[in-house]
């Protein structure tokens, strides 16, 4: 109680000092909605540049806003929570008119959000829902539960237990699988892992799939900050602890392409992918170019494509609505309870990509070029 009161006070004090120093200008909440775009600044905070999707997200949001004449303050936080808090604090004190935030830790920005609310700055949660705060005004993301279902399904399809059309495949168990989840402080992780496990559980329960390590809880399988190296280490440990009896891993549920590449490296170092020791089926997410090459080369099995261009567009629409004193258009007002309130959301569809989908889904849509896929590298 005492702490909450202090935080609330802190927010109010910051708001007061903002109003005092900005003289009723940017960030004071006194905008009429009639300003020129060039008088308005949108603060955009992205988690990290180590994963190419966030670079694409940041660039897309920035360029789309700038094309409409707005000013943009885009910051990356290097996956460091204090850095992100500081960057957002600074956006507020420098008079941002709207904030677009992709949080590193979904619960770590609440005092920033309080300050933003006190200064009447609308906050859009970008892709990752900010939890435990009433001051999140809108959420733009994908259907995150469906991402998890798609990953679980892609593992079953890769293993031959299901066909792509959902019918029963020809493979027979038991097949050995291992499970990975993303960072537990990212609200999306529970949806990804939940959707995947709802899909895989019947196969685990009837013995078709065997998790030899017996590590099946989110806490056991999570990878902090989605780090590739951490995933590689965990896969190495799993191979040593559970597969040193000559048994083989047949499939690995991976929630993100960077994690998939860590897993694949560990497997290759242990001799998988040579001779008769086939690489297991490995899933993914984000259609990162390095993984698309691996899928094209038959090394990684699948990924889940989430078109960041469309997500950026929704963030821009929502920001513009707030700047014009309107409510952004939501297509989901039920799913995303952040612990304090249900946040109105705009959710976009997703697509599973196997090798034979690369052309239609990624190249024909202009997301990657054929040359980039062949090189496994994005052209600038």
Contact status: 51 vs ligand BGC (CB under 6 A): yes
- State the DSSP code for 362: I
Nearer to ligand BGC, 135 or 257 (CB): 257
Q: Which of residues 259-278 bind ligand BGC (CB under 6 A)?
A: none
Residue nearest to ligand BGC (CB): 256
x-or-dash pattern for ligand BGC, window 2-41, by CB under 6 A? ----------------------------------------
Q: Which of 180, 226, 336, 346 binds ligand BGC (CB under 6 A)?
A: 226
Q: Which stretch binds ligand BGC (CB under 6 A): 3-11, 105-113, 182-190, 310-318?
A: 182-190
Contact status: 127 vs ligand BGC (CB under 6 A): yes
**Residue spans of alpha helices (H) in the chain:** 2-22, 52-67, 81-93, 110-118, 144-158, 187-205, 218-221, 228-242, 257-269, 289-296, 308-323, 370-375
Beta bridge partners of 353: 303
Smallest separation (angstroms) from ligand BGC to the CB of 337: 17
Contact status: 286 vs ligand BGC (CB under 6 A): yes
Contact status: 131 vs ligand BGC (CB under 6 A): no
- Number of chain residues interacting with ligand BGC (CB under 6 A): 12
Q: How many CB atoms lie within 10 A of CB 21?
A: 12
Nearer to ligand BGC, 53 or 293 (CB): 53
Q: Which of residues 301-360 bind ligand BGC (CB under 6 A)?
A: 306
Beta bridge partners of 253: 179
In the block, residue with structure tokens 């019947």: 202
Q: 336 Cβ partners below 8 Å, 6+ apart?
A: 129, 139, 141, 342, 343, 345
Nearer to ligand BGC, 145 or 203 (CB): 145
CA atoms of 336 and 251, how far apart (whole Å)? 31
Antiparallel, parallel or unpaired: β 123-126 and 98-101 = parallel
Q: Which of 70, 139, 256, 336 binds ligand BGC (CB under 6 A)?
A: 256
Q: Which of 28, 85, 114, 188 binds ligand BGC (CB under 6 A)?
A: 188
Smallest separation (angstroms) from ligand BGC to the CB of 182: 6
Antiparallel, parallel or unpaired: β 251-253 and 303-305 = unpaired
In the block, residue with structure tokens 């090394």: 299
Sheet containing strand 251-253, strands side by side:
209-210, 175-179, 251-253, 281-282
**54 touches 46 (CB < 8 A):** yes
Nearer to ligand BGC, 31 or 128 (CB): 128
Smallest separation (angstroms) from ligand BGC to the CB of 304: 8
Contacting positions for ligand BGC (CB under 6 A): 51, 53, 127-128, 182, 186, 188, 226, 256, 285-286, 306
């Amino acid at each position: 109680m005492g702490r909450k009161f202090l935080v609330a006070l802190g927010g109010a004090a910051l708001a007061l000092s903002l109003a005092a120093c900005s003289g009723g200008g940017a960030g004071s909440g006194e905008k009429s909605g009639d300003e020129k775009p060039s008088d308005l600044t949108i603060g955009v905070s992205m988690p990290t540049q180590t994963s190419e999707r966030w670079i694409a997200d940041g660039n897309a949001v920035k360029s789309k806003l700038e094309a409409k004449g707005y000013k943009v303050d885009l910051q990356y936080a290097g996956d460091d929570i204090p850095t992100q808090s500081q960057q957002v604090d600074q956006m507020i004190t420098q008079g941002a008119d709207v904030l677009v935030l992709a949080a590193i830790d979904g619960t770590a920005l609440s005092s920033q959000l309080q300050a933003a609310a006190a200064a009447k700055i609308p906050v859009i949660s970008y892709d990752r829902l900010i939890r435990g705060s009433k001051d999140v005004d809108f959420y733009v993301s994908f259907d995150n539960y469906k991402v998890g279902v798609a990953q679980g399904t892609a593992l079953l399809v890769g293993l031959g237990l299901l066909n792509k059309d959902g019918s029963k495949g020809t493979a027979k168990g038991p097949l050995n699988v291992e499970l990975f989840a993303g960072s537990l402080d990212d609200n999306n992780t529970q949806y990804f892992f939940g959707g995947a496990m709802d899909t895989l559980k019947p196969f685990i329960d009837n013995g078709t799939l065997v998790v030899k390590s017996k590590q099946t809880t989110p806490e056991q399988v999570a990878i902090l900050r989605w780090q590739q190296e951490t995933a590689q280490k965990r896969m190495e440990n799993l191979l040593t602890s559970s597969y040193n009896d000559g048994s083989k891993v047949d499939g690995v549920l991976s929630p993100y392409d960077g994690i998939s590449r860590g897993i694949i490296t560990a497997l290759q170092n242990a001799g998988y992918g040579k001779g008769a020791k086939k690489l297991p089926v490995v899933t993914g997410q984000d259609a990162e170019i390095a993984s698309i090459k691996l899928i094209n080369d038959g090394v990684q099995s699948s990924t889940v494509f989430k078109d960041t261009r469309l997500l950026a567009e929704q963030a821009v629409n929502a920001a513009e609505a707030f700047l014009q004193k309107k409510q952004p258009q939501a297509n989901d007002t039920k799913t995303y309870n952040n612990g304090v309130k249900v946040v109105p959301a705009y959710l976009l569809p997703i697509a599973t990509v196997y090798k034979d989908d690369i052309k239609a889904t990624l190249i024909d849509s202009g997301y990657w070029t054929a040359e980039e896929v062949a090189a496994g590298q994005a052209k600038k």
